[in-house]
Structure 1
Amino acid sequence: MVFRKSLTRELTFTALGVFVVLLAIILSTQAINLLGRAAEGQIANEAVTALIGFWALGLFPLLMILTVFVTVLVVLTRIWRDHEMAVWLSSGLSLRDWVWPVMRFTIPLALLVGIVSLYIAPWAEERSQVYAEILKRREEISAIAPGVFKESGSGSKVYFIESYGGEHGSATNIFMQDMSEGKVSSIFAKRGYITVNDDNERVLVLEDGRRYVGEPGQSNYEVGSFKRYSVVVGNNQKLASRPNNRQAQSTGTLLGSSDPGYRSELVWRLSMPLSCLVLAFLAIPLSYYNPRSGHAHNLVVALLGFFLYQNSLTLVRNWITQGKVGMASILIVHVIVLIIAVLLLKYRDRPANTVRQTLKYFLHKH
């Protein structure tokens, strides 16, 4: 029918716009956070893009669920506000006739949410943690930023570089202080770079500098100059082991586990596509808008319902993790919200009657 094609087209274009806006807001916030940490030398500069990508993949299911809910709500609210719904209803259509066109738009996206939440998001979480662990194990000299004093993980060394330049990414005007064995060694060099020796150790090579060695509070410092000075700053770490947290476990691992935490994670992943369908159905009656009132109270109620729904799922998920309830308990939340959606749809699809007549309509009393 004409209204189905026009509705699907409008839902598709609106969903693209909503998804892009939500993704841009969330990614910009996370990017600012990671760039700030990189400027402080907490993470390597080259790690920012990868961490943002992994983080976006992990958040994709929830972002897509919110996109579907907001899209259906906004499009149908506009149809009510512009009196198009009145035209369709006066043409013989009921509000129930809008369910299948909305579901036809939602089902492919729900399948996409299911694939991402069951397979892609756990892989992204695992790779993100492994990557972060690799960066953590690396000597902090690789994450140093120009103009920032950087302390090593052991706390025995402090590094400072003025700028990057020259060939092979070498640094210029380097300061390094080593505090070990009760002595302080301060080194100033014009140039330096990181390399790996034959023993697979990471070595900081300094060129054209001076070295001062002595005990704090004493005047018997040793002063020497050098053309080339090498310092072992750490060995190459092996690949980090697989993370043990439940978010990074594959779905196959969760299926064969009796651990309550793993079972709650499995239920949460299976609930993602189901909640996408339920929220799309709930948005149909919540989109009702009275053009005469001129107030969009339905949007506030809809967003409140969304947060209550998601928080209820999170609460039941935590109960499953603690072993208080079984896995099937999360279905109760979906069923309750679905029943509320059906009742609201039936209420909005009723003829205009008084409260008494409406109660009789619900109770099937004539």
Structure 2
Amino acid sequence: MIYQRKFIKELSYTAIGIFLVLLAILLCTQVVNLLGRAADGRVAIDAVGALIGFWMVGLTPLLLILTVFISLLTVLTRYWRDSEMAVWRAGGLSLHSWLKPVAWFVVPFALLIGGLTLAVLPWAESRSQEYAQILKQQQALSMVEQGVFRGIGDHRLYFIETFDSEAGIAQNLFIREQMEDGKSAVITAQSGNFNIDPHATERSLQLLNGRRYVGTPGQADYEVVHFAQLDLLLKNDIEPITASTARQAIPTMTLLGSHEPRHQAELMWRLSLPLTVLVLGLLSVPLSHFNTRSGHSYNLIAAVGLFLVYQNGLTLLRRAIEDGLPFWVGFLPMHIFMMALAWLMLRYRNQPNGAFWPTLKAAVKGNRA
């Protein structure tokens, strides 16, 4: 029908604008946050761009939910404010008739959010953690300076004449090490290279063609050793890359076969997001009601309040599942409650204008007030 095509077209344009505005606001905030963390050394500089990309993927489901809800409220409220809804209702079009075009608009978003939360987001979270650690490992080499004395760990001091940070190769090295027995070791080498295995718990410095002097300062009992290759284990301040144990990075199929409470809580959250956008789409129809006589937008306040109640309720149930609440007991109640509330509000708005309690009683019973 004409009104359905017009409604969906207007919703589409509105949704694009709202999504871009929300994305721009949150993106600016995250960019500032990541740049601050990079300046402190907590995130590799080269990782900022990639981490922003992974972060955008992770935030997309929430952005889509907000986009759908705000778009529906914006367009439907305008219909009420401009009396278009009154004209349609006078022509015999009830509020229930708007559920079909709302479903055409909301269902594709629900499918997209479901695909993101169940498949794409776990992969993105896992890759994000691994990528950040790999770049931080690489950044450890870039911190090696040539021409100056620097410390390695608690008891070593080194000097490098020239250093190629891309290849990790150093030329003409001098290293002084304080040993536990009080003796001092001095090492010179023609060349060396840093070996950093991202999956190892230690990194090493391989020295080639050099000498090692061990002894007590002020005494003549020094031992001199010539070597073709010497490997020194260095303290690793960077966590090794391992398979991610964060629940956000666990594949959905693994969660389905797990009885661990925190895994069931994560599964509940992933399944709840696509359901949330469907329920909010249903709620938007009665919540968009606007009284042109009073001119007050109390419906928007109610919409924000119900959205916060919905999200906080899901969060509390998620934590309850982590504490041992059965999965289905934690998964279903909030969705059922919000759907029942949407159904009641829709029936209430379909009643003729009248006193609140008689109208509400008629809506519950299914009678006309």
TM-score > 0.5 by shorter chain: yes
**Shift of residue 232 of structure 1?**
4.5
CA distance in 1, matches of 2:192, 2:327: 57
Q: What is the TM-score when the length of structure 2 is the normalising length?
A: 0.78
Which residue number corresponds to residue 23 of structure 2?
23
Which residue number corresponds to residue 35 of structure 2?
35
Whether the 8 Å contact between 1:44 and 1:143 is mirrored in structure 2 is no
AA of the residue aligned to 1:205: A
CA distance in 2, matches of 1:9, 1:340: 28
Which residue number corresponds to residue 263 of structure 2?
262
Inter-CA distance 56–356: structure 2 relative to 1 (3 Å threshold): closer
AA of the residue aligned to 1:314: T
Whether the 8 Å contact between 1:44 and 1:142 is mirrored in structure 2 is no
Inter-CA distance 45–284: structure 2 relative to 1 (3 Å threshold): same
Whether the 8 Å contact between 1:260 and 1:321 is mirrored in structure 2 is yes
Q: What is the TM-score when the length of structure 1 is the normalising length?
A: 0.79
Which residue number corresponds to residue 198 of structure 2?
237
CA distance in 1, matches of 2:9, 2:357: 40
Deviations 1:108-148, CA, capped at 9 Å, x for gaps: 11100001110001110111112223234x1643465xxxx
CA distance in 1, matches of 2:139, 2:130: 17
Inter-CA distance 177–299: structure 2 relative to 1 (3 Å threshold): same
Which residue number corresponds to residue 205 of structure 1?
170
Which residue number corresponds to residue 319 of structure 1?
320
Which residue number corresponds to residue 150 of structure 2?
177
AA of the residue aligned to 1:141: A
Task: Please list every run of 5 or more consecutive structure 1 residues that lacks an aligned counterpart in the other structure.
Answer: 145-158, 161-172, 197-202, 216-225
CA distance in 2, matches of 1:142, 1:290: 66
Deviations 1:320-354, CA, capped at 9 Å, x for gaps: 11113333432110010011111111111111123
1:1-366 pair list within 5 angstroms:
1-136=1-136, 138=137, 140-142=139-141, 144=143, 175-178=148-151, 182=155, 184-185=157-158, 187=159, 192-196=163-167, 203=168, 205=170, 230=191, 232-238=193-199, 240-355=241-356, 357-362=358-363, 363=365, 364=367
AA of the residue aligned to 2:140: I
Inter-CA distance 281–180: structure 2 relative to 1 (3 Å threshold): closer
Whether the 8 Å contact between 1:264 and 1:327 is mirrored in structure 2 is no
Secondary structure in 1 matching 2:165? strand
Inter-CA distance 119–255: structure 2 relative to 1 (3 Å threshold): same
AA of the residue aligned to 1:295: H
Secondary structure in 2 matching 1:327? helix
**Shift of residue 360 of structure 1?**
4.7
AA of the residue aligned to 1:3: Y
Inter-CA distance 229–195: structure 2 relative to 1 (3 Å threshold): farther
CA distance in 2, matches of 1:182, 1:126: 36
**Shift of residue 66 of structure 1?**
1.1
Whether the 8 Å contact between 1:174 and 1:188 is mirrored in structure 2 is yes
Which residue number corresponds to residue 149 of structure 1?
none
CA distance in 1, matches of 2:116, 2:5: 28
AA of the residue aligned to 2:268: V
Inter-CA distance 277–192: structure 2 relative to 1 (3 Å threshold): same
CA distance in 1, matches of 2:303, 2:273: 18
Inter-CA distance 38–339: structure 2 relative to 1 (3 Å threshold): same
AA of the residue aligned to 2:307: F
Inter-CA distance 182–89: structure 2 relative to 1 (3 Å threshold): closer
Secondary structure in 2 matching 1:294? coil
**Shift of residue 30 of structure 1?**
0.9
**Shift of residue 68 of structure 1?**
0.7
CA distance in 2, matches of 1:286, 1:83: 16
CA distance in 2, matches of 1:248, 1:285: 38
Inter-CA distance 352–242: structure 2 relative to 1 (3 Å threshold): same
**Shift of residue 311 of structure 1?**
0.8
Which residue number corresponds to residue 163 of structure 1?
none
CA distance in 1, matches of 2:356, 2:157: 85
AA of the residue aligned to 2:288: S
Q: Percent identity?
A: 43
**Shift of residue 193 of structure 1?**
2.5
AA of the residue aligned to 2:170: V
CA distance in 2, matches of 1:10, 1:290: 22
Secondary structure in 1 matching 2:41? coil
Between Structure 1 and Structure 2, how many residues are aligned? 322
Deviations 1:44-95, CA, capped at 9 Å, x for gaps: 2221111111111112112111111111011111111111111111111111
| Higher radius of gyration, 1 or 2 | 2
CA distance in 1, matches of 2:154, 2:134: 29
